[in-house]
Amino acid sequence: MKEAIRNRALELGFDLCRFTTAAAPATADQFARWLEQGNHGGMAWLERGKAKREDPQLVLQGARTLICLAVSYARNGQPDRADNNPNRGIFARYAEHSDYHDVLASPLKQLTVDLDQMGGAGTRSLWYVDTGPILERDLAQRAGLGFAGKHTSLISRQLGNWFFIAEILTTLEISPDEPEPNRCGTCTRCMTACPTNAISQPFELDARRCISYLTIELKGSIPLEFRPLMGRRIYGCDDCLAACPWNRFAKEGSLMLAHRRDDLNEPDLVELLSLDDAAFKARFSGTPVLRTKRRGLLRNVCVALGNCGGSEALPHLERASHDAEPLIAEHALWAVDQIRQRLNPIGTGPFAPQSR
């Protein structure tokens, strides 16, 4: 039955399928300490679901097996990005596709139905795509799907860093696969690559400093100290993932390739700044970017223009500084001042250094 499930998963488009028990993750204490230190920032949902994340039985009573699945979003021949176009923003690579939650839902549902049929009467299963209250990365490592790198994301020897993970928790008992040992060795490229030093020590991330957190999860104002470090990144950050040498083994997956959105590859920043709420929803319908709402994305766009834009961006930012949304207006005002200081180093704007 195990191989039948694995083969069915591959038929449905998943790139890897591995199995582990539904026992509590060995890293539960480490997760608790991470929360106590406040490293989760404003992601209160992580703390609310703490008990369930520490015990899968609280998620599905009688669960015996966790099936861990991977879907690659690598793109063969995709060049490394360089900060050579100041008017273009950068999305994390995964966001240049339709929302993976939606794409993976259909094959996951089908695999769950097939699983329950194989298990027979009384079999119960739950599927999740990055939404369930389980420590999915930790359990995926135990299943042998990959290993947690020093950047704290999962690394696969077959897929590198560019993949999504999903899970099915089931009452069906299936023999577990062998865990994947850590294979980082002495490499610290991901830590060196992080613009904000968010990887506070190997295998520990302070989300409050992470550009992915700042551009997606943070709902309020971006701290001034981090704005210049964001460059042109307007939704997520891939720097630590891209630095990993295991990416040389990354394989392009078929499931996400069909949902590639080329219009999200380095979009025009000034064009994005002109979007009203209706236009924002239309432009990003069906993509992960909707998560930030207009206020969040345009906040990030203002920061990117403040970091890299020239005089041509000033009238657009000045207009945005009067936006009805205070979060956008504040960051637009900051961006105007940053550009003016570059054009005239003796700037006198509200964010400029004051003379003594």
How far apart, in whole angstroms, are the C-alpha atoms of residue 305 and residue 204? 31
Predicted structure pTM score: 0.91
- 268 catalytic? Reply is no
pLDDT tens, per residue, the chain with 356 residues: 999 999 999 999 999 999 999 999 999 999 999 999 999 999 998 988 899 999 999 999 999 999 999 999 998 755 555 456 788 999 999 999 999 999 999 999 999 999 999 999 999 999 999 888 999 999 999 999 999 999 999 999 999 999 999 999 999 999 999 999 999 999 999 999 999 999 999 999 999 999 999 999 999 999 999 999 999 999 999 999 999 999 998 988 889 998 999 889 899 999 999 999 999 999 999 999 999 999 999 999 999 999 999 999 999 999 999 999 999 999 999 999 999 999 987 655 555 544 32
Name the active-site residue from 130, 268, 276, 277.
130
111, 8 Cβ separation under 8 angstroms: yes
Beta carbons within 8 Å of 82's beta carbon, 6+ residues apart: none
